[in-house]
Chain A
Amino acid sequence: MGILKRFRSVSGSRIHRGMRKLLVLGIDGTPYGLIQRLADSGDMPSVASLRKQGTLMQMRSTMPPISSVAWTSFLTGVNPGKHAIYGFVERRPESYDIYFPNSHHVKSPTVWEILEQHGKRSIVINVPNTYPARQMQGVLIAGFVAIDLKRAVYPPSILPKLQEMDYRIDVDYRQAAEQKDAFFTDLFHTLERRREAILHFLQKEEWDLFVGVFTESDRLHHYFWDAWENVYGQYHEQFIRFYRRLDEIIGEILAAAGEDVRLIILSDHGFCSLKAEVNVNAWLKERGYLRFRKDRPESLADMDNSSKAFCLDPGRIYLNVRGQMPNGSVVSGAESEDLRQQLIEGLVELTGPGLNGESENVIERIFRKEEIYEGPYGFMAPDLVLHSRRGFDLKGSMTRADIVTKGKFTGMHTYDDAFLYVQHGRCEKETVEIADVLPTILSAMNLPIAADLDGSLVARISA
């Protein structure tokens, strides 16, 4: 036994560990265009320096380009038809009640579960949709929508350390539109706490894969995208200051990780200026596809049985098909196909306010579910997924009566302008998607890439 034990410890993964360690940093909602410009302008010198050592490329998010969906595709390397996360809200089976999917609803193995099969240890900090934290080989601190730090961490023994460092799960954005200065104070405070946690676990724990995500950027963009675009605006300098500080932190993390570690950086979706919010259920109601039993509906549960279709955020349209929904009114087959076609033809004509007072088409493209989703959880998929033009933020609110509204947000997510950076790697694909990151991670760590992953290798990372 003694001889076998010694043999194992030498021949096991440890001997190669230094060569194969991989650091993945996420910057939630940061567009390729923005990071390129800030690297060019000298505001992000660490990123500018990294560009010379690898490839910084544009990347597609998921459809819809929502953090819970996109980060789950990053973690699993598959489309929602396999991982079963289609949005922040979902309809309960046999009911019109909604629920909020969480880590328990992810149906495909995550990167740390795959690594665990190869005896590798992961540290995962602040990735959205990993709450509640589940047992794993390593350390996990869950991200959005984590509501209780105690349930957000694994192993529980790390909780006192996080409490000691005043770790923050998220920025307090509740009053961001009204109390702007207070938001920025909290934004920077949260960023520093994230930095401290990442550096602590990076240096104190043993790991093969380290994933740390900054979500502060997404909160900033939702409320202050106008501050990025308007260089004369009151908060433009604060916006730039955030990215300068983030760049310094990236530099610090790289220095702490050491030279043997290879690096990937990515965002989960892009961002652009928001012109108007478009309430799809209000449009469905106006056209008679959706009816409610109340004058002022509060939720999907108030929907009348005669309804033909409804929308869940952001642009996921479900047909009320008999046999699939508890009170379905549409017959599956030719009738449901006709309905889909009618909806597509109507929605492509939908317009919203454009530049100079002219109206613009809201919809860029409408996907049928079978065009973009594939897998055992395809049955949960929306029948249609709307992809809006830039500036039109699709909403699934049941309560808004007006089709076009303007709220407190100045930025909205985009599908095709996320970014991916691969150090010491040259891009081997024409079009890069977020599901491609996992195979790239596995390749960088010299691990096999399972055939059932949807993503494929973006770049080989040289040693």
Chain B
Amino acid sequence: MEKRFTLWLTGFPGTGKTTVIKLLEKQLIERGCEVKLFDEDMIHTTLKNPCLLGQERRGTHTPGDGPVPTSRIPDGIARIEDIASPHRDTWQNAERKFGDLIKVFVMGPSRDAVGKMAGFAGIAGLSEAPDNADLVLEADKASSEETARKILRSLEERGYLPRLPVSGANYSEEEEAVVRKRLEDLGYL
């Protein structure tokens, strides 16, 4: 892996963040990364609090302040977090702490759907992407696989993941000579 990073996914509950994260974890491992996973369920377990976290409480569990996740991350580890906390200062705190934070907001249902759940703590700020998000994905318009792939491509573009050794459309001169010979030997040139 090029360098360590923290990937923070937030968004409306039920948008498929957990599924996307499972896919990301698998593909990052396949590409040679060591991955640490932190999701909201783990935080719930830690806190012994099964209900949705309210804004105030969420704010107390930022990487900078709370016990989970830990701030000590060795080089070469990708950390993925799945927390429905879109608050600007939460991300700012995390950014100050880690620097290499990629903030992903997973758009989910319509404003109407958000409105129906308005009474639940922590839901209010989730209908629109925070303006400091690095990547905004519309999960309801794409499969989990597509969403995961977009995140991986973004990581490549930002230099956190090595591009696959296939990024160029053209062959080098040496490769072209090999291809030419193969084609000649089958009578194509």
A residues engaging B (CB < 8 A)? 1-2, 4-5, 8, 66, 88-89, 99-100, 102-105, 116-119, 132-135, 137, 144-145, 147-148, 150-151, 154-157, 170, 173-174, 219, 222, 277, 313-314, 393, 395-397, 407, 409
Contact = CB atoms under 8 A, between A and B. Distances in A.
Interface residues of B, number: 40
Nearest to B27: A155
Interface string B145-167: 11001001100000000001110
B27 A1 contact: no
A155 B31 contact: yes
B169 to A, nearest CB: 4
B92 interface: no
Contact of B175 (A8, A147, A170): A147
Interface in B167-188: 168-171, 175-176, 178-183, 185-188
Given A99-B176, A119-B145, 12 more contacts: A88-B183, A99-B170, A100-B179, A103-B166, A104-B166, A105-B169, A117-B145, A117-B146, A118-B143, A119-B144, A155-B27, A173-B185
Kindly list the 9 A-B residue pairs having the minimum CB-CB distance in the complex, ordered from nearest.
Answer: A132-B166, A104-B169, A155-B30, A157-B30, A137-B145, A4-B14, A147-B178, A116-B145, A100-B179
A66 B16 CA distance: 43
B30 A393 contact: no
Main secondary structure of the interface of A (DSSP, over half): loop
Nearest to A121: B145
A170 B19 CA distance: 38
Interface of B: 13-14, 16, 18-19, 27, 29-32, 40-41, 142-146, 149, 152-153, 164-166, 168-171, 175-176, 178-183, 185-189
Contact of B179 (A4, A147, A155): A147
Contact of B165 (A88, A102, A118, A151): A151
B19 to A, nearest CB: 7
A52 B186 CA distance: 36
B183 A135 contact: no
Nearest to A142: B166
Main secondary structure of the interface of B (DSSP, over half): helix
Contact of B183 (A102, A105, A145): A145
A32 B32 CA distance: 45
B185 A174 contact: yes
A314 B189 CA distance: 9
A261 to B, nearest CB: 22
Contacts of B189: 88-89, 313, 396-397
B188 A156 contact: no
A155 B169 CA distance: 19
A132 B172 CA distance: 13
Contacts of A135: 149, 152-153, 164
Given A100-B171, A105-B169, A116-B146, A407 B187 contact: yes
A117 B165 contact: no
A118 B146 CA distance: 9
Nearest to B13: A1
Contacts of B152: 135
Contacts of B29: 157
A8 B171 contact: no
Contacts of A174: 181, 185
B41 to A, nearest CB: 6
B147 to A, nearest CB: 11
Nearest to B186: A222
Contact of B166 (A1, A134, A173): A134
A310 B107 CA distance: 53
